[in-house]
Amino acid sequence: MQTLESAIDEFRTLLDGAPLAHLTEIDAAVQVSPTGARWTRKQILGHLIDSATNNHHRFVRAQIESDFSMPGYAQEGWVDTQHYQNRPWQELLSFWTAYNRHLLFLMEQTPEKHHKILCRVGDDEPVTLAFLMVDYVRHLKHHLAEIVKQ
């Protein structure tokens, strides 16, 4: 499994490097969902905003609440309710970028003694806060690759 330190480095590189620059070049294609795809590029980026929102709560609350537990979230419902498809691409990208820069800062500032805090999300088995942070970066990369390949 990837270490939290290497995930943070990867996250920083992603936000400062070429992958983000490539996303700024995407234009009209964001409106179209490829055959068989669940979401358009805008909806995928919206899903990543929702993921940032939910994980932001997890990353903070795990450090300040004893016996941290939080429900999962209805991903389809979040995307549908927020109508990301109707927002300009650059607005979504700017919001996603700013939010993720904040999450990167939060991850960098999390004391090592908090890395092993156990967290329960939904009905899943408890995992450490460090696991949630590493998994967030993995999930982010997965969906960014979907946006780029569309």
The string of pLDDT tens digits covering residues 114-143 is 999 999 999 999 999 999 999 999 999 999
What DSSP designation does 86 have?
A: G
Residue 90's pLDDT is what?
87
Of 93 and 137, which is predicted with more confidence?
A: 137
Residue 50's pLDDT is what?
98
Q: What is the CATH number of the domain that holds 95?
A: 1.20.120.450
Q: Quick check: pTM over 0.85?
A: yes
Distance CA 115, CA 44 (A): 29
Q: What is the mean pLDDT of residues 86-108?
A: 94
| 33 falls within a domain | no
Of 136 and 88, which is predicted with more confidence?
A: 136
pLDDT in tens, 17-57: 755 666 666 665 566 665 556 898 899 999 999 999 999 99
Of 14 and 18, which is predicted with more confidence?
A: 14
Distance CA 67, CA 55 (A): 17
Q: 68 lies in which domain range?
A: 4-28+38-149
Mean pLDDT of the chain: 90
Tally of domains within the chain: 1
Quick check: 150 pLDDT over 80?
Answer: no
Distance CA 46, CA 32 (A): 15
